[in-house]
Amino acid sequence: MIPAQRQKYNQQFTEEKYQNFLNQLQSGYSEIPFRVAETPIFVPKSLKEKLVAAGEEIINLIKQPNFKALTQKAIPSDWNVPNENGQPHFLTFDFGICRNQAGELSPMLIEMQGFPSLYGFQHHLGKTFKSSFDIDDSVNYFLNSFTEETYIKLLKEVIIGQHEPEEVALMDVDAPNQKTAIDFFVTKKMLGIKILALEEIKKAGNQLFYEENGRKVQLKRIYNRLIFDEVANNTEIFKNSFDPREELDVEWVTHPNWFYRISKFTMPFLKSEFVPETRFLNEIEKLPADLENYVLKPLFSFAGMGVIIDVSEEDITDIKDPENWILQRKVNYEAAVQSPDGGVKAEIRMMYLWPDGGEPQLCINLARLSRGKMIGVRYNADFDWVGGTVGFMEK
């Protein structure tokens, strides 16, 4: 998207360099189980400014005094966790790169989450791209003048807070074997916190503990990577550990309720040039005549599961819980990234950290490249120049 940067990168690219880059990226870690793209995205200043503006519009909604009232129905009654705090610690906004009516590259919001993303791995990825390929200092994968030092300092403030690193753990069901486990291990190396599977955490009274070298260590803060949707049909797993829905003497980073509040549920409340028309299905009195230009999405799913791309009236009639679905105008991605054999579609995730008592700060980004029908690793298994990557943005 920055022609000079793209031309320079493509000219120097070789398969050998790419393999050396992957080897360096995985050095000291196990093999990455998802596809890392051959290239970063070079984002021009004009598009960066639109991405920043789009994010600010969303944050303005989240900071409204009535935001919790607006989104109370987003939290499933079975998964409402007590002691919710006043703000999320993480915000991630996914934008498809499109062309607007003026013919300019412009972002369109695809999804949003008040939940952590690959905050450790994306720094590692950007740093490895820079050291493996000739990427100059006119572009950066950090935003807002963040550096490695200031970024890690803020990440520590958000995740560890006032505690000792051993009192904080990154938690998931089977954390070391998750597909994104490399992010967990990079984060552990950066911050010194524990990585714990759910069953490694035990409850005594309303406090949580884990064992290390024969001693019990109280867990005071959980960097939560557990998505409840993944365990909704298997709540038996809590019996060997603890149930997050109980009253517990522990701090959440971020509190699980924010996963639901800031999600597809929030999108119908946004009116912006950067947000596709989105409505709750149960509030639509008359279906659009051009249903082929819309996509149907379940509110409570993740990683693109359950999405109906080619919508028919029959699909809509068959839905028994329309209050849990949204109808959204399709986003037409522009094949804006030039690979050696044609254009590739791109999506950019803008990633914020929100420290306790502070303001949300845009720090870093994640990007995905796609040639498939949908963005996402599972839809691009048979292509090259696709997969997870990072944006280097013009300063």
Give me the average pLDDT of each 10-residue run along the chain (395 residues). 95 97 96 95 98 98 97 92 96 97 96 96 98 96 98 98 97 90 97 96 97 96 91 85 95 96 95 96 94 91 77 93 94 95 96 97 97 64 88 97
Contact at 8 Å (CB) between 256 and 232? no
The CA distance from 49 to 312, in Å, is 37
pLDDT at residue 87, rounded to an integer: 96
Helix (H) or strand (E) holding 296: strand 294-298
pLDDT at residue 305, rounded to an integer: 72
pLDDT at residue 377, rounded to an integer: 54
Q: What is the largest CA-CA distance in the chain?
A: 66
In a domain, 7, yes or no: yes
Residues 6+ apart with CB under 8 A from 94: 109, 110, 111, 112, 347, 348, 349
Distances in whole angstroms, Cα of residue 353 to Cα of each of 54, 127, 359: 16, 19, 8
pLDDT at residue 221, rounded to an integer: 98
In a domain, 17, yes or no: yes
Contact at 8 Å (CB) between 218 and 167? yes
User: How many domains is the chain partitioned into structurally?
Assistant: 1
In a domain, 314, yes or no: no
In a domain, 142, yes or no: yes
Burial-class residue 204 by CB neighbours within 10 Å (0-12, 13-18, 19+): exposed
Q: Tokens 């008592």 belong to which residue?
A: 357
pLDDT at residue 266, rounded to an integer: 95
The CA distance from 175 to 354, in Å, is 24
Would you put residue 213 in left (φ > 0), alpha (ψ -120 to 50) or beta?
left
pLDDT at residue 331, rounded to an integer: 93
- φ, ψ dihedrals at 344, nearest 5°: -130, 140
In a domain, 182, yes or no: no
| 232-238: long-range contacts, CB 8 A cutoff, minimum separation 24 | 232/78, 232/79, 237/173, 237/198, 237/199, 238/198
pLDDT at residue 236, rounded to an integer: 87
Range of the structural domain that residue 32 is part of: 3-146+258-276+331-394
The two tokens of residue 344 are: 């590739």
Q: Which residues pair with 365 in a beta bridge?
A: 350
Q: What ranges in the chain are assigned the alpha helix state H?
A: 3-12, 15-26, 45-62, 67-70, 121-132, 148-159, 181-191, 257-261, 313-318
pLDDT at residue 175, rounded to an integer: 87
In a domain, 21, yes or no: yes
In a domain, 95, yes or no: yes
In a domain, 227, yes or no: no
